[in-house]
Amino acid sequence: MTPPQGDCVTDSKPTNATPLPLQGVRVLELGSLIAGPYASALFAQFGADVIKIEPPGHGDPLRKWRKLHRGTSLWWYVQSRNKKSVVLDLKSDEGREIVRKLAAEADILVENFRPGTLEKWGLGWETLSAGNPGLIMLRISGYGQTGPRRDLPGFAAIAEAMGGLRFVTGFADRPPVRSGVSIGDTLASMYGALGALMALHHRNINGGKGQVVDVALYEAVFGVMESLLPEYSAQGFVRQRSGASLPGISPSNTYECSDGQHVVIAGNGDALFRRLMQAIGRDDLATDPGLAHNDGRVQRNDELDAAIGAWTARHDIDEVVRVLERAEVPVGKIYSAADIAADEHYRAREMLEEHVLADGQRVTLPGIVPKLSATPGRTRWLGPALGEHTSAVLGSLAAGKKERSK
For residues 156 and 185, the answer to whether their CB atoms sit within 8 Å is: yes
User: Does residue 241 sit within a domain?
Assistant: no
Do 326 and 260 reside in the same domain of the chain?
A: yes
Q: Distance between alpha carbon 327 and the CA centroid of its chain, in Å?
A: 33
Do 215 and 256 reside in the same domain of the chain?
A: no
Do 42 and 82 reside in the same domain of the chain?
A: yes
Do 179 and 296 reside in the same domain of the chain?
A: no
Which pTM value belongs to this model? Answer: 0.90
Do 110 and 179 reside in the same domain of the chain?
A: yes
Active site residues: 185
For residue 5, the model assigns a pLDDT of 35
| Number of separate domains in the chain | 2
Do 140 and 289 reside in the same domain of the chain?
A: no
Residue type at position 176: P
pLDDT in tens, the chain (406 residues): 333 333 333 345 677 778 899 999 999 999 999 999 999 999 999 999 999 999 999 999 999 999 999 999 999 999 999 999 999 999 999 999 999 999 999 999 999 999 999 999 999 999 999 999 999 999 999 999 999 999 999 999 999 999 999 999 999 999 999 999 999 999 999 999 999 999 999 999 999 899 999 999 999 999 999 999 999 999 999 999 988 888 889 999 999 999 999 999 999 999 999 999 999 999 999 999 999 999 999 999 999 999 999 999 999 999 999 999 999 999 999 999 999 999 999 999 999 999 999 999 999 999 999 999 999 999 999 999 999 999 999 999 888 764 443 4
For residue 248, the model assigns a pLDDT of 87
- Which residues constitute the domain of residue 126? 26-224+368-405
User: Does residue 344 sit within a domain?
Assistant: no
Alpha carbons 142 and 150: distance in angstroms, whole number = 8
For residue 7, the model assigns a pLDDT of 34
User: Does residue 286 sit within a domain?
Assistant: yes
For residues 102 and 108, the answer to whether their CB atoms sit within 8 Å is: no
User: Does residue 242 sit within a domain?
Assistant: no
Domain end position, chosen among 287, 306, 333: 333
The domain that holds 271 is classified in CATH as 3.30.1540.10
User: Does residue 19 sit within a domain?
Assistant: no
Do 34 and 159 reside in the same domain of the chain?
A: yes
For residue 1, the model assigns a pLDDT of 36
Do 265 and 373 reside in the same domain of the chain?
A: no
Do 190 and 324 reside in the same domain of the chain?
A: no
User: Does residue 3 sit within a domain?
Assistant: no
Alpha carbons 93 and 89: distance in angstroms, whole number = 9
User: Does residue 238 sit within a domain?
Assistant: no
Do 43 and 184 reside in the same domain of the chain?
A: yes
Domain end position, chosen among 333, 359, 391: 333
Do 126 and 35 reside in the same domain of the chain?
A: yes
For residue 401, the model assigns a pLDDT of 63
**270-279 and 317-326 helices cross at what angle (nearest 10)?**
130
Strand ranges of the sheet holding 331-333, from the earlier edge strand across to the other edge: 252-256, 262-266, 331-333
Alpha carbons 366 and 337: distance in angstroms, whole number = 11
User: Does residue 362 sit within a domain?
Assistant: no
CB atoms within 10 A of CB 158: 18
The domain that holds 399 is classified in CATH as 3.40.50.10540
For residue 12, the model assigns a pLDDT of 54
Do 208 and 326 reside in the same domain of the chain?
A: no
